[in-house]
Structure 1
Amino acid sequence: MESDKISNLPGDAIKQILTHLPIREAVRTSVLSSLWRYRWALLPHLVFDDQCVSNQNHKTCAQINTEFSDIVDHALLLHIGPLHTFKLSYEEFLAANDIDRWILHLLRKSIKEFILQKWDGPQYKISSWLFSCQDLVRLELHNCLLKPPLTFKGFRSLKSLDIQNVTITQDVFESMTFCCPLLESLTLCNVDGFTNLKIGPRNLKYLEFRGSFAEVNLENNLNLVDVSIDLDFYLWDVPGDSINLLKFLVHLPRLQNLAIKSFFLKYLSVGALQGKLPRPCLDLTSLSISICFNDPEEILTALCLIRSSPALQELKISGACRGDLSLLFGLEDMAVLGEVENSWLDDNCQNCSFTQLRLVEVTGVSGVKAEVDFIRLLLLTSPVLERMTLQPASANWVFESLRELVEIRTRHASVQAEIIPLDSN
């Protein structure tokens, strides 16, 4: 009789198969043979998402939610052994009492990673039981209200914290982050409850924040190597003595990767510097930046940052069109560089050389003169440039503008450089 290949698979192979199956299908493998029975219950990672419920088109929302809750209850009840990761990512309604019950169960499991992506309904007030999970290494919360008990003194083992669409007071946020001595990665997106952002963990290496903040304080974060910033604050509320490029970078001496999105470059251009920073960004190798080419201060601030990064190898630029910035900032004499003398280009061509820059990508190219001049400057001053990729915001202008740039590249830039126009669609 031919042997049963499925039943005779090695234990490691069975584990690999179960790891890649949705939890609903993994549970059903118990009927294959005695060797497979309850092997899923030893899985250290449990993920509950929309794939848990089948034939959703033929069921009411209440039936779908009940079935989903029953699956989670069943899996947790039968699970044996250590549980490393518990992830809930569900688009339908999740009852608060169900989540509370599951968190209480996880507390007994010494959970290491807890991920709650709640997409529907009101914010879930995090159960106080979660703050007792002192073995947590990773915590990710979406659409929640964070209010820990007064006895909470931080997560002693936490290394990664990701909170998005969360309501939390400034005191609670600072106590949570300052009291996590091992925290290395922090992500904040659309956080409500405070406007002055102060980042305190001294061991932090990765930081991403997006939302509306009137003030950003990165003091004492000397170990940060990767920072991504996307601020969408009300620009008319920015104080006159707000942060500038020099104040911002002095607290980031080990920075290697920096992404500046939305309005943050304007935030840094207060008291714009020309030339180079007094202290260069010696370790910065990758820079992604959003520039409004209608704003001379933003262009000069971007140039100052690029020129102050002698190790820069990869540069990504996103063109931004913010024609009403003069109203927002009260700049009466805002000049569009495409309409004025471009002496800034000649001055910078004579005094800068991007000796390590190899890859340049420019998206949202609109073809305004200041933008084309900026691209030309990069071509003329990057002797080892290998590739430049241009993605137009519109296909209407690209052919004429690119023809001029290609000619410049042929005469001046590295023979290995390529300009690749991408279809805007």
Structure 2
Amino acid sequence: MMPPTGRERCQGIPPGVLSDLPDNVIDVILRRLPCKDVVRTSVLSRKWRYHWCRITELTFDVSLWREQKDILYPTVKFRKIVYQLLTHHEGPITKFTLDIPALQECPVIDNFIYFLSRKDIQHIVLHLPLDELYELPSSLFICSQLRHLNLHDCLVHPPSTFEGFDRLVSLELCRVEISSESLGSLISHCPLLEKLVLKTLKVLSVLEINAPMLRSFDFTGSISSLCLKNVPVLTKASLICEHSSMVVENFDYAKFFESCSGLEHLLLNFGYGYDEFFADEIPTRLPFYLNRVKHLDLSQIVLKNPFKLSCALCLIRSSPYLEYLKIEVNNRPESDIEESFELERFSDVTFNHLREVTVVSFGGTMPEMQFIKLLLAKSPVLVKMQIDPAFYIDARSETLAELLKFQHASPKAEIDYISYD
């Protein structure tokens, strides 16, 4: 016998099954459906007819516009759907997502955001079209119950009467346009903020971050000066400053790291001038230890430049409890001259807790080999060193053979040299 088709299976369902489902089960089903299908469930039974009006999570995405003309001009259907919600919805809305970056036009959402502000909204996600920044209405800043705010491609101008988001724990601003003063004020008026993601469009001037509960900070963009003023519980930081916009004389690197006493995970991108944080003569270590840093990721560093290599070693040496180290090498063919590195400057260093090292885009230059030699000789508990050569480097057996000749302080250390042959 052939198995029943989907239509036959549906016809075999007793008529009272859908009506007998508990309310919490119906809520789960509705949350998993596209917004358009949520409204259509009103025809299933009398119990389902108005249940969609009480749904607490709403998601508007491109599934609402299926025809090409709708993708280009979504405003008509969007207004109709929003009108239905404004007219019939009952109770709170805890989460609202508007995810339409592929659209050519941004529908007018001012009235809807005002509607959300009166619905005890806790989580807002706005991923708006890329072509034109949308200026957020002032009603967004009266959402007193807000806990998570995720904005993409917006103009953000908090009103002068804004007193802060007392309950906000997560703030993500990606490709937004906001002044340094407004951004600093916004952050400082979120006393419970734990997660902060900033990916800016324009160059920011001086940014001062005062967030006593902040645990995670991810910054990508151009900035003149960055000050982590009050972040005592910050454990994870990722700093990618583009276009070498950091002004050296405005940046006290020692003070910067000193304010991060709880830092455990640190990513720095050296491709945009982090070595400029240091003076003309680089110290072998910071004036203090980063005693909690266990994971250190140094990206786009030119190891064949002794000055830049010294910057990296200064940070590594200043992290005495470091366990995991990742180095992404930048072998850019510029005027950098390959020079030998003065290992004597670090002859007294020992990496007593270093267990794993990953070197990405390894170019096989003399400074890189010396750097690896130093790590192997000074890491008594090292378990694994993975070397991932640059795509243009042949998997040379002589390179691996030379690496294996280096003195190993750890009897358990293994070298994993990846071959692409």
TM class, shorter-chain normalised?
0.7 to 0.9
For residue 10 of structure 1, report the CA deviation from its aligned partner: 4.7
| Structure 1 residues 347-383: Cα deviation after superposition (integer angstroms, max 9, x where no partner) | 53x4222222222222222222212322332233223
Amino acid at match of 2:341: N
Contact 1:15 1:43 in 2 (8 A): yes
Name stretches of at least 5 consecutive residues in structure 2 with no aligned partner: 1-11
Q: Distance in 1 between matches of 2:398 and 2:267?
A: 27
Secondary structure, aligned partner of 1:389: strand
2:140 is the counterpart of 1:158: no
| Structure 1 residues 374-395: Cα deviation after superposition (integer angstroms, max 9, x where no partner) | 2332233223333333332215
Secondary structure, aligned partner of 1:233: helix
Amino acid at match of 2:36: R
Aligned positions, number: 406
Contact 1:292 1:299 in 2 (8 A): yes
Which of the numbers 160, 168, 177 marks the counterpart of 2:178? 168
Q: Distance in 2 between matches of 1:84 and 1:268?
A: 44
Instruction: Provide the residue aligned with 2:143 in structure 1.
Output: 133
Instruction: Provide the residue aligned with 1:318 in structure 2.
Output: 328
| Structure 1 residues 204-244: Cα deviation after superposition (integer angstroms, max 9, x where no partner) | 22212111112111223333221110001345x734x3435
Amino acid at match of 2:267: A
Instruction: Provide the residue aligned with 2:316 in structure 1.
Output: 306
Q: Distance in 2 between matches of 1:296 and 1:356?
A: 25
Q: Distance in 2 between matches of 1:416 and 1:20?
A: 48
2:291 is the counterpart of 1:278: no
| Structure 1 residues 10-38: Cα deviation after superposition (integer angstroms, max 9, x where no partner) | 54444333333332333333434445444
Amino acid at match of 2:294: T
Distance 1:2 1:135, change over 3 A: closer
Distance 1:401 1:87, change over 3 A: farther
Q: Distance in 2 between matches of 1:368 and 1:118?
A: 46
Instruction: Provide the residue aligned with 2:196 in structure 1.
Output: 186
Q: Distance in 2 between matches of 1:5 and 1:413?
A: 70
**Larger deviation, residues 1-10 vs 70-79:** 1-10
- Taking the TM superposition and a 5 Å limit, the aligned residue runs for 1:227-306 are 227-234=237-244, 238-239=247-248, 241-243=249-251, 245-261=253-269, 262-290=271-299, 291-306=301-316
Contact 1:30 1:36 in 2 (8 A): yes
Secondary structure, aligned partner of 2:396: helix
Q: Distance in 2 between matches of 1:2 and 1:60?
A: 36
2:91 is the counterpart of 1:92: no
Amino acid at match of 1:389: Q
Which of the numbers 399, 404, 407 marks the counterpart of 2:401? 404
Name stretches of at least 5 consecutive residues in structure 1 with no aligned partner: 327-334
Contact 2:184 2:207 in 1 (8 A): no
Instruction: Provide the residue aligned with 1:50 in structure 2.
Output: 62
* TM-score scaled by length of structure 1: 0.85
Instruction: Provide the residue aligned with 1:341 in structure 2.
Output: 340
Amino acid at match of 1:46: L
Contact 2:379 2:409 in 1 (8 A): no
Amino acid at match of 1:246: A
Instruction: Provide the residue aligned with 2:9 in structure 1.
Output: none
Q: Distance in 2 between matches of 1:303 and 1:42?
A: 58
Distance 1:198 1:63, change over 3 A: closer
| Structure 1 residues 26-60: Cα deviation after superposition (integer angstroms, max 9, x where no partner) | 33334344454444443322221122323x34x35
2:116 is the counterpart of 1:106: yes
Q: Distance in 2 between matches of 1:250 and 1:141?
A: 31
For residue 63 of structure 1, report the CA deviation from its aligned partner: 4.9
Amino acid at match of 1:341: S
Q: Distance in 1 between matches of 2:253 and 2:398?
A: 32
Contact 1:225 1:255 in 2 (8 A): yes
Amino acid at match of 1:92: L
Instruction: Provide the residue aligned with 1:360 in structure 2.
Output: 357
Contact 1:226 1:256 in 2 (8 A): yes
- Give the % identical residues: 31
Distance 1:103 1:318, change over 3 A: same
Q: Distance in 2 between matches of 1:219 and 1:69?
A: 44
